[in-house]
Structure 1
Amino acid sequence: MDVNELLEKEETGIAPHFIQPLKPQIIEETSKAILQCTVVGQPTPKVKWFTGKDEIRPSPTKQLSYNPETGVATLEILEPSPEDETIYRVKADNKFGQAECRANLIISKSVAVTQPLVMYAPKITKPVKAIVASVNEDIVLEADFEGTPKPDITWLRNGKEIKPSDNFEIEVEENKTILRIKKKTNKKQKGGKYEVRAINIKGGGSFLWYSCNN
């Protein structure tokens, strides 16, 4: 083999080229970033990563790898910060040439996905029952309700709102309300038309109960 044949054989090779270029990435701020591409050449190219003109070096927060058998080059950013939201450049070169590709990384704030709240007007699901009460015991009126969002509950006597006092106690639970008329309340204050109302932004519902006046 003469010198020219030997030189020709030594110079046989393939310049680097990307089989799979780098692609833009969008990640959540709590996720690690993985930037990856595939570049091959003969002889095996040297692969370097850059941001701007600065070469990226391995560090506790950044890991670099290149598999010469598959050509896969990877940059892992373990704890992305706002500074990492930039354009990344991969450069591969051997003595037959060089190739380069670039892509940007976007870090977005995670948004919790929630189901929409289905709202519906309140209604009384268990109306107040008529009762017979002794003058020596409290009168207790109860009603069950439902509605979304949770309705505001109001008790009325003869069309006027009842406020909690020494004579009247009002309890509102998750789906139930109780009006307690104390036994010490005089007969004139006890008698009348009682009403419970449940109201939210979708509407309202009510139920009437008439007390005895004698």
Structure 2
Amino acid sequence: KVQLTKDGKEVKLTSVEGTRHVYTIADVKPQDQGVYKLTAKNKTSAEESTITLNVTAPLNITQPLTDINVLLGQTGVLSLTCDAFPVPKVTWFFNDTELKNSAKHKIEIKNNVFSLTVNKCDHPDVGVYRAVVDNGIDKTEQTAKLNVGVKPKVEAAKPANEQSCVIGQDTQISWKFSGIEKPVVTWLFNGQPLPTNERFQITETEDGTSTLSIKSAELTDKGVYTAK
């Protein structure tokens, strides 16, 4: 009699070909890894041997690193999701300098999510972050950029917040915004996107001024215009 066991539980015999006994483990999982004991018995004697089964799985990045934009002083989190066995080790780098846990950087692993938290982001934190993923069987790396900005600041309006014009005449409304990077300005009319109309034209200058030009003003143009 031939018997294969693992942790005291018998493994089902698949087939016998003469003296060859075949055991098949379908859909191998990490928990199938371990030491298997093979016992062969007859009426007069018994023999035992052990077999070690190692289970591995290639790295599978299901959620890669992506670039993030963080406001000055806020927390930035870079993360990736990786399925693999053995569980991989992730080493983080910033501009090719290895990072360790500190007051500035927090490295975490939760299930198969590997994350790097950058606390109180400042301009020196801007750059390329790299995650090297290695489980001893497979190895890969991911990169992402962290950008730090500030909330756009609204400068004095040009002209005043309220203005009037004569029907049929052209008019303009301008606002100036400032920021570390040139802000993207969206104009609204009574809380809704501007109508698709050749009479409405938006121009921007390098100093951050966004101007809405209205040609041949009509009575229906009366309302609240918002630069966001």
Larger gyration radius, structure 1 or structure 2: 1
Give me the TM-score of the superposition, normalised by structure 1: 0.48
Higher relative contact order (CA 8 A, sep 6+): 1
Give me the TM-score of the superposition, normalised by structure 2: 0.45
